[in-house]
Chain A
Amino acid sequence: MKRVTRMLALLLAAVMLLPLAGCGSSDGKTHLTFQIWDVGQRDGMQAMCDAYTANVNPDVVIEVQVTSWSEYWTKLEAAAESNTLPDLFWMHTDQILYYSEFGMLADVTDLFPYAEHYSDISISNAQGSDGRMYGVPKDKDNICLIYNKEMFDAAGVAYPDDTWTWDDLESASQAIYDATGNYGYMAYNDEQLGYHNFVYQNGGCILTEDKTKGGFDLPATREAVKYYVNLQSYDWCPSQAYFAETTPGTAFFSGKGAMFLEGSWNLLAQMTNYPDMVGKWDVAVLPAAPNPVSGDGRATISNGLTYATGAHGKNLELALDVLTYFAGEEAQRIQGESGAAIPAYEGLEETWISAFDKFDYQLDLENAIMSQFDYCVQYVNNSARPKWKSGVVDIMTSIYNGSVDIETGLDNIQNLINTETAKKLADS
Chain B
Amino acid sequence: MGKKAVRLSAAARREENWGYLMIAPTIIGLIVLNLWPFVQTIYTSFCEHLGFGNYKFIGIGNYVEMFQNPEVWRATWNTILFCILTVPVGLFLSLLVAMMLNAKIKGKGLFRTIFFLPMVCAPAAVTMVWRWIFNSDYGILNQIFGTNINWITDSKFVMIACAIVAIWSNIGYDAVLLLAGLQNISKSYYEAAEIDGTSKVNQFLQITLPMVSPTLFVVMIMRLMSSVKVYDLIYMMVEDTNPALTSVQSLMYLFYRETFVAGSRGSGAAIVVWTVVLIGIITIIQFIGQKKWVNYDV
Contacts and interface: CB of A to CB of B under 8 A. Distances in A.
A101 interface: yes
Interface in A243-293: 243-246
Contacts of B54: 102
B69 to A, nearest CB: 12
A334 interface: no
B154 to A, nearest CB: 7
B243 A81 contact: no
B137 A245 contact: yes
A188 B264 CA distance: 28
Contact of A401 (B53, B136, B239, B243): B243
Contacts of B196: none
Q: Which of A74, A245, A393 has the most CB atoms of chain B within a 10 A radius of its CB?
A: A245
B297 interface: no
Contacts of B25: none
B242 interface: yes
A241 B153 contact: yes
B234 interface: no
Nearest to B150: A241
A104 interface: yes
A246 B135 CA distance: 9
Contacts of B261: 390
Interface in A216-250: 240-246
Given A74-B260, A102-B51, A244-B152, A397 B243 contact: yes
Contacts of B153: 240-242, 244-245
Contact of A80 (B52, B238, B241): B52
B131 interface: yes
A373 interface: no
A245 B262 contact: no
B135 to A, nearest CB: 5
Contacts of B260: 74
A246 B137 contact: yes
Nearest to A394: B240
Given A393-B240, A401-B155, A98 B51 contact: yes
B52 A245 contact: no
A243 B243 CA distance: 10
Nearest to A240: B243
B241 A101 contact: no
A83 B133 CA distance: 44
A5 interface: no
B246 A386 contact: no
B241 A189 contact: yes
B244 interface: yes
A240 B241 CA distance: 8
A195 interface: no
A408 interface: no
B24 to A, nearest CB: 23
B229 interface: no
B263 A245 contact: no
Contact of B152 (A245, A391, A397, A401): A245
Contacts of A163: none
A411 to B, nearest CB: 17
A81 B136 CA distance: 43
Contacts of B83: none
B102 to A, nearest CB: 39
A77 interface: yes
B241 A243 contact: yes
Nearest to B139: A245
A244 B238 CA distance: 8
A396 B261 CA distance: 16
Interface of A: 74, 77, 80-81, 98, 101-102, 104, 188-190, 240-246, 386-387, 389-391, 393-394, 396-398, 400-401, 403, 427
Given A242-B153, A386-B262, A390-B240, 9 more contacts: A241-B136, A241-B244, A242-B136, A244-B238, A244-B243, A245-B152, A246-B137, A390-B261, A393-B241
**Top 8 nearest A-B pairs by Cβ distance?**
A401-B243, A241-B153, A244-B242, A81-B53, A244-B153, A390-B262, A390-B261, A102-B52
25 contacts: A74-B260, A102-B52, A102-B54, A189-B241, A190-B241, A240-B241, A241-B150, A241-B243, A243-B241, A244-B152, A244-B153, A244-B239, A244-B241, A244-B243, A245-B131, A245-B136, A245-B152, A387-B263, A390-B257, A390-B262, A393-B241, A397-B240, A397-B243, A400-B243, A403-B246
